[in-house]
Amino acid sequence: MKYHIISLGCPKNKVDSERFAWVMSSAGWKYCVEPDPSDLIILNTCAFIAPATEESLEYLSDIISWKGEKPGRKVVLAGCLPGRYRDDGSGGLENIDLVIGPGDWRKLSAWLGGTADAAAQVLGQGSYRYLKIANGCSNNCAYCTIPAIRGKFVARGLDTILMESDLLVQQGAREIGLVAQDSGNWQQNGTDLSFLAETLAARHPSIWWRLYYLHPLHFPCRLPEVFSKYSNVVPYIDMPIQHASDSILERMGRRHGVKTIEKIMEQLDSSPVEIAVRYTVITGYPGETETDFRALRDFLGRYRSGRHIAAFSWYPEEGTLEYSRAIARGDAVDDSTASRRLAAISAVGDALYADWDDRLYGRELSILADDRFTGHTMWDAPEVDAVVSFTQPVSPGSIIRSRITESSGAVLVAEPVN
């Protein structure tokens, strides 16, 4: 029997899909890259924001049509979509054979009649993989649906994480990204994320370790020291700062002010290691004045370590605190202002890239080859940041010393050197 998985959304969902793959394989199912020859499709959905929900529903509709084309085909609906919109009994789920919440591999295993213990087991491939170090989030930001979908923050144990890291390395990973909704909050017996990064870097010295989703409130301040000590912990920080105005941060419920992020950025800029920061921000937040917006725009352009900006407009997400508050106060930012502000933030992002273009041009760097023709640098996360094109075919999964011969924003060209 063959199965196919469609994984939507972020790397955290990808990890859940890899665990589902392990469960399927333990129950004797074979993975199939194409949906057509498969007997079963798992759709692992994302429903964090309205566009993600819409995308998930479009996939679901296609898969239900696929099921109708041949008797005996089965559909498993997993992830945030059923986590967010629970079955209210009004119908519509009759074509789905199994509905499981985010990451609920136990329910999948029980349905298959298996006894898989997938606690530290994942099945996947590729030069870069992700390792989930915690589940859920307890921050309850005013605009966010995640705590309601995924529950409170629970750190995974060190032993489980180490076991899973060994497995990923055995399966051929050359880069492993540590992911969670709030990775900086990881702790165990008085140790923190810096300790975890050091432990993993020492255990697997040939692997690049990348840290994602570092909420400023839980930023591990020893991290620059870890970058200096372990060259395989890549000097890259993915930090959802969300805004740089005290009043907006307070309204978002972020529980820190601008001073906190200024202090972090100053520390990163003064590190002897060249660090790249990927900021995530929301503009057009309800109540955001022109002064608030300018504070955000100016902040983003200020620091040498800033390399990437992922900017979003605020979405009125049903079920969040801000959804009802913005309606009650009537102070949502109008669409054209929100679009203008988003475009202005995007221009700051272009300027950051232009500055890095000058810094990278002509340099010899280590580049991880993701396939024969493309790869990424230490300062760029795969799939979301700049892509490197090699001037000649290389061996996928290798780290290639190369000279940057062109650098233009999110596109770099590199010539392998002997």
Applying CB under 6 A, the residues found at the interface with ligand SF4 are 137, 139-141, 144, 146-147, 181-182, 215
Do the bridges between strand 74-79 and strand 40-45 make them parallel or antiparallel, or are there none, so unpaired?
parallel
Q: How far is the CB of 48 from ligand SF4 (least distance, A)?
A: 8
Residue 174 Cα distances to 14, 169, 228, 273, angstroms? 17, 7, 20, 22
Dihedral, CA of residue 105, residue 110, residue 116 and residue 120, to nearest 10: 20
Closest distance to ligand SF4 from the beta carbon of 140 (Å): 6
Distance CA 409, CA 349 (A): 9
Length of the chain: 418
Q: How far is the CB of 9 from ligand SF4 (least distance, A)?
A: 13
Q: Which of 252, 367 has the CB closer to ligand SF4?
A: 252
Q: Which residue do the tokens 């605020």 mark?
A: 314
Would you say 144 or 352 has its CB closer to ligand SF4? 144
Whichever of 294 and 325 has its CB closer to ligand SF4, that residue is 325
Least spacing, CB of residue 327 vs ligand SF4, in Å: 20
For residues 167 and 339, what is the distance between their CA atoms, to the nearest angstrom? 44
Among 238, 250, 219, 282, CA closest to 382: 238
Q: From 364, 361, 358, 362, select the one nearest 416 (Cα to Cα).
A: 364
Residue with smaller CB distance to ligand SF4, 21 or 144 = 144
State the residue for tokens 């898969």.
Answer: 63
Closest to ligand SF4 by CB, 214 or 414? 214
Q: How far is the CB of 306 from ligand SF4 (least distance, A)?
A: 20
CB 381, min distance to ligand SF4, A: 17
How many Å separate Cα 142 from the centre of its chain? 20
d(CA 97, CA 361): 54
- Cβ-based nearer residue to ligand SF4, 147 or 287: 147
Q: Name the residue type at position 32.
A: C
Question: 108-134 burial, b for 16+ CB within 10 Å, e for fewer?
Answer: bbeebebebebebbbbbebbbbbbbbb
The one-character DSSP state at 131 is E
Give the integer Cα–Cα distance in Å for 254 and 252: 6
The smaller minimum CB distance to ligand SF4, of residues 7 and 135, is found at 135
Q: In angstroms, what is the minimal distance from the CB of 45 to ligand SF4? A: 17
Q: Report in angstroms how near the CB of residue 322 gets to ligand SF4 at its nearest.
A: 11
DSSP assignment of 267-287, as one string?
HHHTSSS--EEEEEEEES-TT
Choose between 75 and 137: whose C-beta lies nearer to ligand SF4. 137
Q: Rank residues 147 and 257 by Cβ distance to ligand SF4 and give the closer one.
A: 147
Rounded Cα distance between 250 and 257, Å, is: 7
The least distance separating ligand SF4 from the CB of residue 252, rounded to whole angstroms, comes to 8
